[in-house]
Chain A
Amino acid sequence: MSLFKVFNVSGSAVSAQSQRLNVVASNLANAESVAGPDGQPYKARQVVFQAQIDGADPASAGVRVANIVEDNAAPRRVLDPNHPLADENGYVTMSNVNVVEEMVNMISASRSYQSNIDVMNTAKSLLLKTLQLGS
């Protein structure tokens, strides 16, 4: 019954999108971080999506997070001579998180999440109606 596989496909997308949302949350939380325990500023992370195609059944393609990459953009430097971690020129090195980009990422993830939940709800109601066939 191929309608059941809709749950596998959309379920994988929902979990991938929630992982993306998780990464966005940690990026936003660390947007103002100065230095981690290792003395390095936080680097923004991004998820990499990949289609997950079942060899035996090419019709359904789920999604998975292939890996999480760190953004290697230069860290943000802010002039704040009174900051305890300021260097000799008075600059503080902060994380390289782009807050605007992360907000866009968050909205996109939330919309995709909603779409996939809608798909699963529709598939569920159709399956229930199919079960009641002939009654």
Chain B
Amino acid sequence: MLDRLTQPLDFHGAALLLRAERMRLLASNIANADTPNYKARDFDFRAALSQATGVQGGSAMIAAAGDATRDLPATKTNDAHLPAVGGGGFAPTMQYRTSLQTALDANTVDLDVERANFAENTVRYEAGLRFINGQIRTMLTAINGQ
């Protein structure tokens, strides 16, 4: 019963964790903007989120609410047990960015691209925070009943 209160938050929680992960990756790219031979990296957020929540695209939020097995690996002790869905964890697949312009030191970081992505990621992280805050407030209103 109690986990029903927090289930709707799980999806946004997963999204928030992945946003933080992406932020770290973009910070690494910005930090290595002057390192010779460094290759800029990023990950496909959509694929990573559906992997982490075990949901494909579209109505991800509704489906994620029913998926409480995300963080802990489920062990089947009986053949009659239902298979665990999701459980992909938060290890997104890294990909190398294709550079728009070549550099003499073989570095593929484009500081403009990285900073734009960083700003976008920040805004989306804040949006995730607001979603969670809104849901918590809704829940508190329901509990107080006023």
- Least CB distance from B114 to A in Å reads 8
Smallest distance from the beta carbon of A31 to chain B beta carbons, Å?
Answer: 22
Q: Which of B113-127 touch A at CB < 8 Å?
A: 115, 118, 122, 125-126
B15 to chain A, nearest CB (A): 13
Q: How long is the Cα–Cα vector from A112 to B114 in the complex, in angstroms?
A: 12
Instruction: Tally A residues with Cβ within 8 Å of B.
Output: 36
Contact A3 B118 (CB under 8 A): no
B18 to chain A, nearest CB (A): 9
Asked if A63 and B32 sit within 8 Å, CB to CB, the answer is: yes
Taken residue by residue from 95 to 124, chain B's Cβ proximity to chain A (1 for < 8 Å, 0 otherwise) reads as 000000000000000010001001000100
On chain B, the residues within 8 Å of A106 by CB distance are none
Determine the distance from Cα of A123 to Cα of B23 in the docked complex, in whole angstroms.
8
Are A60 and B132 in contact (CB-based, < 8 A)? no
Asked if B33 CB lies within 8 Å of chain A CBs, one says yes
- Name the segment of A72-80, A96-104, A125-133 touching the other chain: A125-133
Task: State which of A10, A60, A62, A112 has its C-beta within 8 Å of the C-beta of B34.
Answer: A112
Q: How far does the alpha carbon of A6 sit from the alpha carbon of B34 in the complex, in Å?
A: 18
8 Å CB contact of B125 from A9, A109, A115, A126? A126
| Interface size bracket, B side | 20 to 34
Cβ B31 vs Cβ A9 within 8 A: yes
**Cβ A60 vs Cβ B28 within 8 A:** yes
Contact of A6 among B23, B32, B111 (CB under 8 A): B23
Of A5, A12, A111, most buried by chain B (CB within 10 Å of CB) is A5
**Interface contact B31-A133, CB-CB below 8 Å:** no
9 A-B pairs with CB atoms under 8 Å apart are A6-B27, A9-B24, A13-B31, A49-B34, A51-B32, A59-B24, A62-B31, A122-B118, A130-B16
- Interface set of B (CB-CB < 8 Å, partner A): 16-17, 20-21, 23-28, 30-36, 38, 94, 111, 115, 118, 122, 125-126, 129, 132-133, 136
